[in-house]
Structure 1
Amino acid sequence: MIFDEFTIKSLIRPVPGFPKEGVTFRDITPLYQSPRAMRMVADSLIQRYVESPVTHIGAIDARGFLLGAVLAYELNKPLILFRKAGKLPADCLREAYSTEYGEAHIEVHRDALKEGDQVLLLDDLIATGGTFLAAARLVSQLGAEVYEAAAIIDLPDLGGSRLIQDAGIATFTLCAFEEAE
């Protein structure tokens, strides 16, 4: 199936003023309601990483879990969950990060990764980059490396993809929305 950025973008619903005034939320639920578009997204990412040195898929809470599980299954890689604080049951490492809405924490199990592991970090979108960078710091604390940070959507006006790249982490997204779109 050929990737069609227009189809993907047309199925991402803008929701102005959510979760607060001045923010336009990019809702991916219509994308997930289209089997054709979802297959297009999954197949594009699978093809990108099928022959890569990635050893683990690191899915970021919560929308990253949806696509992360598909990629982990299709690529036959372990799925590592980066969860909001207090959601994982075993011994965890925690990292703080800033979002466009405030400050939060993300956690990963202390035994999830080891030295030499190559992690693909995956979420639905790159906004300010805070969650990705916090997850990358956790990957590093566990002795592993981030291979790439990937998402369906980039919001370049928020500067997250640039911050991630400035931290030495490659980024990949399937589409981007400028603020005016």
Structure 2
Amino acid sequence: MDLKAHIRAVPDFPKPGILFYDISTLLRDADAWQVAVTRMADVIRDYKPDYLAGMESRGFLFAAPLALKLGCGFTMLRKPGKLPGDVVGLDYTLEYRSDRIEAQADAVPPGARVVVVDDLLATGGTLSAGIRLLRQLGADVTAAVTLIELSFLSGRDLIDVPFASLLQYDS
């Protein structure tokens, strides 16, 4: 199945000059979503994760069903103020702003093998921050996997673990 045929390109969203790759069209097609999750599971399985960490928020849409399919735990990496209990956070800078990502302090036990999952890799700042945050928690981050990679932005250069994406866009 050609998964790219199920992703809508939306020009000038969320601001002029940005071409947004909309996965909602893939998610509402049960067969396409199943194929995407199965193909991502085939990649992730080789890393033998104990947990999958989903990046807020679209990463949850893939990480949660993948964790069920692979028989491992799922944890969320979220924006500030979204998680109850004790949290650990990491401030990071993107090319145009700064941000923060948080996880519950007990999200993964020390030494757990974790694969980070998101829908899309652009410049790599957020995914890289997620990896660093999980390491602060004591995780062994073995890989990062996304559905889409905007390869022309070279985001994978910031990712210091094995990285894979199902779909690449070169412009």
Q: TM-score range by the shorter chain?
A: over 0.9
Task: Give SS of 2:49's match.
Answer: coil
Q: Deviations over 1:66-124 (max 9, x none)?
A: 11110111111111100111100111111123346522211000111222111110000
Aligned: 1:175 with 2:170: no
Partner of 2:151: 156
SS at match of 1:84: coil
Distance 1:50 1:20 in 2: 37
Question: After superposition, where does 1:1-181 map in structure 2 within 5 Å?
Answer: 4=1, 7-99=2-94, 102-164=97-159, 168-179=160-171
Q: What is the CA RMSD across the aligned residues, in angstroms?
A: 1.4
Structure 2 letter corresponding to 1:176: Q
**Equivalents in 2 of 1:48, 1:15: separation in Å?**
28
Moved more, 92-101 or 150-159: 92-101
Separation of aligned partners in 1, 2:47 and 2:128: 21
What letter matches 1:27 in structure 2? D
Q: Is the 8 A contact 2:80 2:102 kept in 1?
A: yes
SS at match of 1:124: strand
TM-score by length of 1: 0.89
Residues 7-38 of structure 1 deviation map (CA, whole Å, 9 limit, x = unaligned): 21111111111111121111100001111111
Offset at 1:48? 2.5
SS at match of 1:39: helix
Report the CA distance shift for 1:129/1:58 in structure 2 as closer, same or farther (over 3 A): same
Distance 1:174 1:51 in 2: 15
Aligned length: 171
Is the 2:10–2:21 Cα contact (8 Å) retained in structure 1?
Answer: yes
Tell me if structure 1 keeps the 8 A contact 2:83–2:104.
Answer: yes
What residue ranges of structure 2 are gaps of 5+ in the alignment?
Answer: none
**Is the CA contact (8 Å cut-off) linking 2:43 and 2:164 kept in structure 1?**
no
Identity %: 36
Return structure 1 stretches of 4+ with deviation > 4 angstroms. none
The CA deviation string for residues 129-157 of structure 1, in whole angstroms up to 9 with x for no partner, is: 11111111111111112111100000011
TM-score computed with the length of structure 2 as normaliser: 0.94
